[in-house]
Structure 1
Amino acid sequence: MAIDGPGDDEEVDRSTKWAENRTDWAEDRTLMALERTFAGWMRTAFAAIAIGIGFRALFGEFDPPWLAKAIATMFIALAIVFALGAERRACRAFDRLSSHSVDAPKLPNIKLIAYSISAGAALLIVALWVLSNDTLAPG
């Protein structure tokens, strides 16, 4: 049986410290990846809104006229689903992780971004159906 020398405890402590640092850095990288993923979903939501607006603009004189609005509404509603789904997934993941060397995004900011995009998309859907041929609907 070997007897531990005076330097062995220091080597174990240093090895443990490096392992803890690597774990902390991995968690920080995961936080940054989650933030990039959330931003990617927000870009996807904006793309769905753009497709909906583009479809409505391109096929505005579609027959029957409500069909172009319905397809555009579907894409814009999909943007709401993307934004709210990404917000829920991001908030759950950020709650589970803790940052060590990086600044984690604030959850109220994540919610504000997602809810703002969703509210804007919902208003766009309302405007799409209320506005008729660039004028307000008869009333």
Structure 2
Amino acid sequence: MTTDRREEARERTEFAEDRTILANERTFAGWMRTSLGCIAIGVGFHALFNKIDPPWIPRLIATGFLLLAVLVIVLAERRAAAVIDRLNAHVVHTARRMNLRLFAGTISLGAATFAVIIWLLPISAG
């Protein structure tokens, strides 16, 4: 193989790595949207069905969705960070692991806060 062909092969490999890094970031964003959707379902479920008797049932179901949101975002962050560690960016600027952790932590904190608020809200009669 000539030097030019080796250089072309190396460049194709670098571009493929860059595309994989960008795909990883899009995948993380998709899982982040899924996590936010779980939060919305949990809060919405509690808001719509808070009159169900006994009152702990809608709270429990809403809390389940909120915990699912935390699980989804934490697993997505770990997976995205593992991919970032394995690949080397060549042309693109990759997301920093700290930014992924910041997103995951913020979403987790928000979901946990909603869960606490749901359980602390007074039970409305009737």
- Fold conserved (TM > 0.5)? yes
Structure 2: runs of 5+ lacking an equivalent: none
Name the amino acid aligned to 1:63. Answer: D
Find the partner of 2:112 among 94, 115, 122: 122
Find the partner of 1:45 among 3, 11, 35: 35
Name the amino acid aligned to 1:115. Answer: G
Looking at structure 1, the residues matched to 13 and 5 of structure 2 have their Cα atoms a distance apart, in angstroms, of: 12
Looking at structure 2, the residues matched to 131 and 61 of structure 1 have their Cα atoms a distance apart, in angstroms, of: 13
Looking at structure 2, the residues matched to 132 and 89 of structure 1 have their Cα atoms a distance apart, in angstroms, of: 39
The alpha-carbon deviation at position 133 of structure 1 amounts to 4.5
- Tell whether the 8 Å contact from 2:55 to 2:123 is kept in structure 1 after alignment: no
Q: Helix, strand or coil for the counterpart of 2:2?
A: helix
The yes-or-no answer on 1:29 pairing with 2:2 is no
Query: TM-score normalised to the size of structure 2?
Result: 0.95
Asked which structure has the greater CA Rg, the reply is 1
Name the amino acid aligned to 1:85. Answer: L
The yes-or-no answer on 1:113 pairing with 2:103 is yes
Looking at structure 2, the residues matched to 112 and 103 of structure 1 have their Cα atoms a distance apart, in angstroms, of: 18
Find the partner of 2:4 among 9, 14, 25: 14
Query: TM-score normalised to the size of structure 1?
Result: 0.86
Find the partner of 2:87 among 78, 97, 104: 97
Which structure's relative contact order is higher, taking Cα pairs within 8 Å and 6+ residues apart? Answer: 2
Percent identity between the aligned chains?
48
1:137 corresponds to which residue? none
**Once superposed, which parts of structure 1, at least 4 consecutive aligned residues long, lie more than 6 Å away?**
none
Looking at structure 2, the residues matched to 121 and 103 of structure 1 have their Cα atoms a distance apart, in angstroms, of: 30
